[in-house]
Amino acid sequence: MIGTFLKRLFWLVVLMLLQVLVFNHVQILGYATPMLCVYLILLFPLGTSRSQILLWGFATGLLQDIFTNTPGMSAASLTLVALFQPDLLKLFASKDFVENEDAPVPSARSMNWPPFLRYVFVAVLINQMAFYLLEAFSFFNPIELGINVGGGTLMSFLVIVAMEGVRKGYTKKQNP
């Protein structure tokens, strides 16, 4: 229990440092910024209580808001992703993964790449849509909103997939 908490805390610190020191300064034409903290929420196994996921989502978003000067937008968008995370995992994971009593951590290795990629993409899309809708707080400029959401989703998705590849050291199994 304490080991799991410390691992999540470690991931929170690493992702927050990457976000604040590196990725907040990466923008495409001033529009799209990758947001990595959603990756922490995606790593919760199915057996985790929804209240625990929501608490981690809100706390992660609140920390991101404090360090990036986005009052409440990250907290709201990450809490929304945390709310949908178990349902998304059930939707995109295989039946064997869902029925597994050990509740493995969602990863490319435990879920296989295609379902994991769909899971990550939809969660990142929800996060980006909520964040940029709260930032704009209107639909007056739908083209700019679409560029922000699309670019941010694509950049966040690619960075999270790269991190997953590095984290698990995923290599294709070779037949002897």
From the number of C-beta atoms within 10 Å of its C-beta (0-12, 13-18, 19+), residue 124 rates as buried
Considering only CA atoms, give the Rg of the chain: 16
CA distances to 99, 109, 124, 148 from 106, rounded to whole Å, are 13, 8, 15, 27
Would you state the structure tokens that stand for residue 73, as one six-digit string?
Answer: 């937008």
Instruction: Give the rounded percent of residues in the chain with a pLDDT score beyond 70.
Output: 95
Entry pTM: 0.90
pLDDT tens digits along 89-134 = 999 998 888 888 787 899 998 999 999 999 999 999 999 999 999 9
Architecture label for domain 2-168 = Orthogonal Bundle (1.10)
pLDDT tens digits along 145-166 = 899 999 999 999 999 999 999 9
Of residues 42 and 173, more confidence is placed in 42
Phi, psi of 28 (to 5 degrees): -100, 110
DSSP state letter for 139: S
Return the pLDDT at 32.
80
> Scanning the structure block, which residue is given the tokens 């790269």?
162
From the number of C-beta atoms within 10 Å of its C-beta (0-12, 13-18, 19+), residue 13 rates as exposed
Q: Where would I find the beta strands (DSSP E) of 26-151? A: none
The answer, yes or no, to whether residue 175 has pLDDT greater than 80, is no
The crossing angle, in degrees rounded to 10, of helices 113-136 and 142-168 is 140
